[in-house]
A and B are shown apart, each in its own frame.
Chain A
Amino acid sequence: AQSVSQHNHHVILSEAASLELGCNYSYGGTVNLFWYVQYPGQHLQLLLKYFSGDPLVKGIKGFEAEFIKSKFSFNLRKPSVQWSDTAEYFCAIYGGATNKLIFGTGTLLAVQP
């Protein structure tokens, strides 16, 4: 069965610290991978996506993610976080023929000023 797991449920960092959030997936076919972010009180926004090509994907606000097929991973990184990055981050894949999103449990990131 298709699934997504996120290892970190709650991460607390100081401003300027580096961030890496883990994401692993289980899916037998060609995979489409996403990171969504949900800022407090707002809707889910697409941070970045991987469909094919360069496995290092750059997204908005300085985020990037690397698709490592051999490890079934799609970790999210940012070299220097800001207080405004405080949010919940969701890793997701497309599953099935109808492009339903299968989400991980989410990681709540709190950045302290």
Chain B
Amino acid sequence: EPEVTQTPSHQVTQMGQEVILRCVPISNHLYFYWYRQILGQKVEFLVSFYNNEISEKSEIFDDQFSVERPDGSNFTLKIRSTKLEDSAMYFCASMGTGGRNQPQHFGDGTRLSIL
């Protein structure tokens, strides 16, 4: 079964540094998402992306965050200047066409630790 893959599995970064989290969605999917889960808390929506632009973003997704699909296969999340509170598990998800009757498929996640 096709999978969503995320790299790296664990990223340790100094506060204030930029970090890029990478995702390769399922190849024929057109909708892409980032979620995060701070330790002990619920999984939270960050951003959705379709047709090469952001379709929705949450309050968490401020100017420090950006997403890109640079080459038609990768889908990246960049945090420009990381803060301690950005430490979390970040999940990428993708969804095929067919409207709301499609489930999202998730990657294994990247654990981001900010020191």
Which residues of A are in contact with B by a Cβ distance under 8 Å?
32, 34, 36, 42-46, 49, 51, 90, 92, 94, 96-106
B109 in the interface, Cβ–Cβ < 8 Å? yes
With A42-B108, A90-B43 as contacts: A101 and B31 at CB distance below 8 Å: no
The answer to whether A96 and B56 touch across the interface, beta carbons within 8 angstroms, is yes
The 8 Å CB contact of A44, one of B41, B102, B106, is B106
Complex alpha-carbon distance, A101 and B95, angstroms: 11
Please report whether the interface of chain B is mostly helix, strand, loop or mixed according to DSSP: strand
Q: How far is the CB of B19 from chain A (nearest CB, A)?
A: 20
Closest A residue to B33 by CB, please name it. Answer: A100
The answer to whether A51 and B101 touch across the interface, beta carbons within 8 angstroms, is yes
Which residues of B are in contact with A by a Cβ distance under 8 Å?
4, 31, 33, 35, 41-45, 48, 50, 55-56, 58, 91, 93, 95, 100-109
What are 27 pairs between A and B in contact, CB < 8 Å?
Answer: A32-B100, A43-B108, A43-B109, A44-B93, A45-B106, A46-B103, A51-B100, A51-B101, A90-B43, A96-B56, A97-B55, A98-B31, A99-B31, A99-B48, A99-B104, A100-B58, A101-B35, A101-B43, A101-B45, A101-B93, A102-B45, A103-B35, A103-B43, A104-B42, A105-B41, A106-B42, A106-B43
Complex alpha-carbon distance, A45 and B106, angstroms: 7
Complex alpha-carbon distance, A100 and B50, angstroms: 12
Residue among B45, B50, B93, B105 with most chain A CB within 10 A: B45
Instruction: For the A-B complex with A94-B100, A102-B45 known, give 15 more contacts whose Cβ atoms are closer than 8 Å.
Output: A34-B103, A36-B106, A43-B106, A44-B106, A45-B106, A46-B104, A98-B31, A99-B48, A99-B95, A99-B100, A100-B33, A100-B58, A101-B93, A105-B41, A106-B43
